[in-house]
Amino acid sequence: MIDNAHDSAGVVIEDLNLSFGDTHVLKGVDLVIKQGEFFAFLGPSGSGKSTLLRAIAGFGPTPTGRILIQGKDIADLPPWKRDVGMVFQSYALWPHMTVRKNVAFGLEERKISKHEIDERVDKALDMVGLLDLAERRPSQLSGGQQQRIALARTIVIEPKVLLLDEPLSNLDANLRIQMRRDIRELQQKLQLTTIFVTHDQEEANTTSDRMAVLDQGVIQQVGAPIDLYDNPANLFVAKFLGTANIIKGAVITEGSALVFRTDRGMDIPLNQGYTNGRSIVFRPQNVDVCATGTGASEAHAKLNGKVDHMEFLGSIIRYGVDVNGDVVLVDHAHKLGEAVFSVGDSVDLLVDRDSILVLAA
Amino acid sequence: MSFLFPSVQRGPAVAGLLIALFLFLFLAVPVGQVIFVAFQDASTGEATIINFVDFFRNSLFRESFFNSFYVASMSVVIASIISMPLAYFTTRFNFGGTALIQTLGIIPLIMPPFVGAVAMQLLFGSNGSVNLILDDWFGFTIPFMEGLNGVIFVESIHYFPFILINLSAALSNIDRSMEESAQNLGSNGMRLFRRIVFPLAMPGYVAGAALVFIKVFDDLGTPLLLNVNNMLAPQAYLRVTSIGISDPMGYVIAVILVAFSLLSLWVSMRALKGKDYATVQKGGGGLMKRDLRRWEKVGCYAVVILILVLVLSPHFGLLLLSFGTIWSYAVLPDAFTIAHYVTVFSTATQYITNTLLYAGLAALFDVILGTAIAYVVWRTDLVGRKWLDYGATAALAVPGVVLGIGYLRTFHNINVPLIDEPLATWWVIIVIAMTIRRLPYALRSCVAAIQQISVMLEEAAENLGATKTRTVWRIVIPLMSGGILAGFVTSFATAAVELSATIMLVARETDAPLAYGIYEFMQSAAGRGPGAALGVIAVLFVGVGTYISHVIIERSNKAREPKSIVAEET
């Protein structure tokens, strides 16, 4: 039973459950990844993101549920019949084979003619820019080169899906930025449905079209990076995707006005439309800090507090302001000649009302 | 999804079953048979401990029991006395002779103790070279080789490396920071040694000592060649070969040998279990070393050279014996000749060809079994797979004499079709005995090899379209090849000098391998020369084998390390 939307999808995962012994690692995962999409699985370690990726490739304990690739259920196939190319975190290049032999492996297993193998291997090596290293051994290559060979070895079989398991984690910082651009470029060129596992939100943000945030084996939210950052569905996503101010309390109607009353008894005006919720979330860059007594427009919620601590981070100053017992973080763009507040100063905070998000938990 | 498993696991399951069957038939059944007979009344067939009571009522057996115990214990003491200064020198001082000491740790192992036993008698016996000189110069002699002394002397010179290697490893695994933090907290001198260094090194020492104890306790060849028969292993052999396989005493002794083996292995494993005291951290390494003062250096070298002379004496003696004409009541042989080698190569080549065939086949079976077991245990989730490992390793606890008796008893009335001969006297049984006895070593080598392979290398192959079987052939076995080859060579070299099971299973001269040939020759004074020549050949087999295996392991270790990282090109 495959519906039409799923037919055109690159990867569809339906109600996937998986456990290691008594530990449930994946709990009812449902996901649709479009054909040609660059999709990231983002989550902390232990969230199940790598397990999910490995399940798609057919490794690890057998899950229950369905995995469809281009409309075909592959959940019952052994790894070697799935046609999903995986690049391993440690690259997993075979040390006893030359680069050329490594890249040719998948084609040889497919019983393709010698001539065609040579041609396709050359093309794949050329694509990652390492054709001249074809006769080297993996141990003679740098980390970045090994990474490229691993990529070439996988794309040469023209997989239906490309799986990348933390592909950048073993590279140094500069190379990582270069490599993620290269991977993205290659993916665009080949129009290859790609799933990328990472614990680094910056990596996920910069490369992926859309991403799924995972925690404790459950998909928390799926969407484009900016959407997820601006409209997190829950506190976990809000916190995982960047610094967030989270204040606990309840939504209260006061006459015609909607107010969020914090647990410590402070009122913060809200935009219309919210009925209930246990916490509000807003990001530090959506708050302005100014000397007390500054006038505020309707667009801002004004809070008064005392500077509790400050961190100078270069382009911004991050203040921690004690507002009635809750410490609110504020990112203030640092400009030459502008006044800097000191610890203990009394300040007003102007929170952009549009940026205040009310969440259930 | 569950239907996947049967098809994927069918190969390993079949292999696992075949291996289990082999181990059952040629290890469990014969040993079980031995134990069964030991506890069975010879006439009525009922279960009884009367055989054990009889055993301890007999004064010769009581004496043999205590002698074996005494010899094994004393060998541990002497081996410890030899090892401790050597281990201490290398780990405590910046000692130039470290390479020399490492060599010392290998030389004895390449010559089975029984091979050098007769030569040692000629060097250290009451009328041997050393005592002749002593008597001449100082007017006294030392009974190095009198009775049990001889066995202790020969065995401890041969087996001390087990203690040396384990103790050195334990000492060099202690990180300097262990000692420094103790000093930092106010401890030093003897107190520091007693509370920190000694406890950290203890497990290694105990493991080595337990191994030496059991090797000596089980050894058959050395006492036989030194004509010391009032020990357990020789008694078992003599009972079975002279009275016959129905005499229960041989079995009782076999059970005692097995019990002691298990006890020693248990002690050794117990000592090491949960005490992975490898405390060396990055950039650290070993205890604090200091330079030696001049006179200390002289002292150290004197000790090392004395031990080196002792260790080389069996080899040297054997060489002299093999090239000597007549050597009796003299410091050196009367004259030198190559006649013994000529004799060996003209009349006794079957020993050499048999050894090549038997040890070659045994080593081949060992690595095939070892590779299969390693794969099944580490790469599949077959139910009970660990038992294959335990089963194969259990052979360590079975002394050769016991296996020999078990085979004779179990297979003497099982006729091999076509050749119409009992399996117990067919030459193939010798190969099987060698295979079983050396399997634990080959297995460890194979297991070490497979553990070094990241599972991801196999997953990558499967991901790119290779089935499990194809992955085994194209990835697993090539990457294991170093370990497999090292396992083969070790198995071959040690099987080539196996005597205790072989001696019981050789049915006729034409089927006999080298070790048996040496034993045969050494029985008569006239045969000592050719026997020694055969011994030299045996030592060459083992020495070359050990060297090759060492080179292979070094090379494959080196190949694994990433070479120079080329500058990043981006």
Residue A307 in this model has a pLDDT that exceeds 90? yes
CATH of B11-47+338-558, one of 1.20.140.160, 1.20.1630.10, 3.30.70.100, 1.10.3720.10: 1.10.3720.10
For every residue of B69-112, DSSP letters joined together read HHHHHHHHHHHHHHHHHHHHHHHHB--TTHHHHHHHTTGGGGS-
Segments in B185-292 forming alpha helices (H)? 189-192, 198-218, 221-225, 232-238, 248-272
CB contact (8 A) between residue A94 and residue B2 = no
B4 touches chain A (CB under 8 A): yes
Whole-angstrom distance, CA of residue B230 vs CA of residue A283: 89
B6 touches chain A (CB under 8 A): no
Q: Say if strands A300-312 and A316-323 run parallel, antiparallel, or are unpaired.
A: antiparallel
Residues on chain B touching A66 (C-beta within 8 angstroms): none
Interface of A with B in 111-170 (CB under 8 A): 139-145, 153-154, 157
The pLDDT of residue B232: 87
Domain spans in chain A, listed from the N-terminal domain onward:
4-240, 245-359
The pLDDT of residue B277: 56
- Numbered ranges of CATH 1.10.3720.10 in chain B: 11-47+338-558, 49-323
The pLDDT of residue A225: 94
Question: What is chain A's Cα-based Rg?
Answer: 25
Residue A325 in this model has a pLDDT that exceeds 90? no
- What average pLDDT does range A267-296 have in this prediction? 84
CA neighbor of B389 nearest in space, from B26, B29, B20, B31: B20
Structure token digits, residue A64:
């229950």
Could you say which architecture CATH assigns to the domain A4-240?
3-Layer(aba) Sandwich (3.40)
The pLDDT of residue B566: 34
Question: Which of B464, B467, B474 is the best residue to mutate to test the A interface, defined by the most A CB atoms within 10 Å of its own CB?
Answer: B464
Interface of B with A in 465-484 (CB under 8 A): 465-468, 470, 474-475, 478-479
User: What rounded mean pLDDT belongs to chain A?
Assistant: 89
| Chain B nearest CA to A113, separation (Å) | 16
The superfamily in CATH containing domain B49-323 is MetI-like (1.10.3720.10)
pTM of the entire structure?
A: 0.80
Interface of A with B in 10-69 (CB under 8 A): 57-59, 62-64
Whole-angstrom distance, CA of residue B124 vs CA of residue B121: 5
CB contact set of B267 (below 8 Å; sequence gap of 6+): B206, B210
Percent of chain A with pLDDT over 70: 98
Of A90, A109, A144, the CB nearest to B454: A90
CA neighbor of B268 nearest in space, from B223, B309, B213, B188: B213
The pLDDT of residue B278: 54
Whole-angstrom distance, CA of residue B377 vs CA of residue A153: 30
| Chain B nearest CA to A303, separation (Å) | 50
The CATH number of the structural domain formed by A245-359 is 2.40.50.140
Contact A117, A104 (CB under 8 A): yes
Of B456, B467, B561, the CB nearest to A88: B456
The pLDDT of residue B559: 59
Of B457, B463, B465, the CB nearest to A94: B457
B459 touches chain A (CB under 8 A): yes
Q: Is ipTM beyond 0.85? A: no
**Which residue in this structure is represented by tokens 């990076």?**
A225
SS3 content of chain B, % helix, strand, coil (to 5): 75, 0, 25
Whole-angstrom distance, CA of residue B412 vs CA of residue B391: 24
Whole-angstrom distance, CA of residue A72 vs CA of residue A67: 8
A314 sits in the region (left: phi over 0; alpha: psi -120 to 50; else beta) called: left
Burial of B187 (0-12, 13-18, 19+ CB in 10 A): middle
CB contact (8 A) between residue B467 and residue A106 = no
Of A140, A157, A178, the CB nearest to B566: A140
DSSP letter (8 states) at residue A14: E
CB contact (8 A) between residue B479 and residue A96 = yes
Question: Over the stretch A218-272, which tens digit does the pLDDT of each residue have?
Answer: 999 999 999 999 999 999 999 999 899 999 888 888 877 888 888 888 888 888 7
Segments in B142-197 forming alpha helices (H)? 148-172, 176-184, 189-192
CA neighbor of A183 nearest in space, from A201, A203, A160, A213: A203
Structure token digits, residue B103:
């060599």
The pLDDT of residue B550: 75
| Chain B nearest CA to A148, separation (Å) | 11
Residues on chain A touching B474 (C-beta within 8 angstroms): 105
Minimum Cα–Cα distance from A66: chain B residue:
B1
CB contact (8 A) between residue B567 and residue A142 = yes
Whole-angstrom distance, CA of residue A354 vs CA of residue A337: 30
Greatest extent of chain A over all pairs of C-alpha atoms, in Å: 80
pLDDT tens, position by position, for chain B (570 residues)?
A: 334 444 457 788 888 899 999 999 999 999 998 888 888 877 777 778 878 887 788 888 888 889 999 999 999 999 999 888 888 777 777 777 677 777 777 777 778 888 888 888 878 877 777 777 777 788 777 777 778 888 999 999 888 888 888 888 777 777 777 777 777 777 776 777 777 777 888 888 888 888 888 889 888 888 988 888 889 888 888 888 888 777 888 888 888 888 888 888 888 787 777 655 555 554 455 666 667 677 877 888 888 888 888 888 888 888 888 887 777 767 777 777 777 777 877 887 888 888 889 988 999 999 999 999 999 998 888 888 888 888 888 888 888 888 888 898 888 888 777 777 888 778 889 999 999 988 988 888 888 888 888 899 999 999 999 998 899 999 999 988 888 888 888 788 788 888 888 888 888 888 888 888 888 888 887 778 888 888 888 888 788 877 887 787 777 666 554 433 333 332
CB pairs under 8 A between A and B: 103
Minimum Cα–Cα distance from B477: chain A residue:
A96
Residues on chain A touching B567 (C-beta within 8 angstroms): 142
- AA identity, residue A261: R
Q: Kindly state the helix (H) or strand (E) to which residue A38 belongs, with its residue range.
A: strand A38-42
Whole-angstrom distance, CA of residue A162 vs CA of residue A53: 10
Q: Kindly state the helix (H) or strand (E) to which residue A217 belongs, with its residue range.
A: none
Whole-angstrom distance, CA of residue B157 vs CA of residue B148: 14
Question: Over the stretch A108-148, which tens digit does the pLDDT of each residue have?
Answer: 999 899 999 999 999 999 989 899 999 999 988 988 899 99
Q: Angle, to 10 degrees, between the axis of helix B528-560 and the axis of helix B477-495?
A: 160
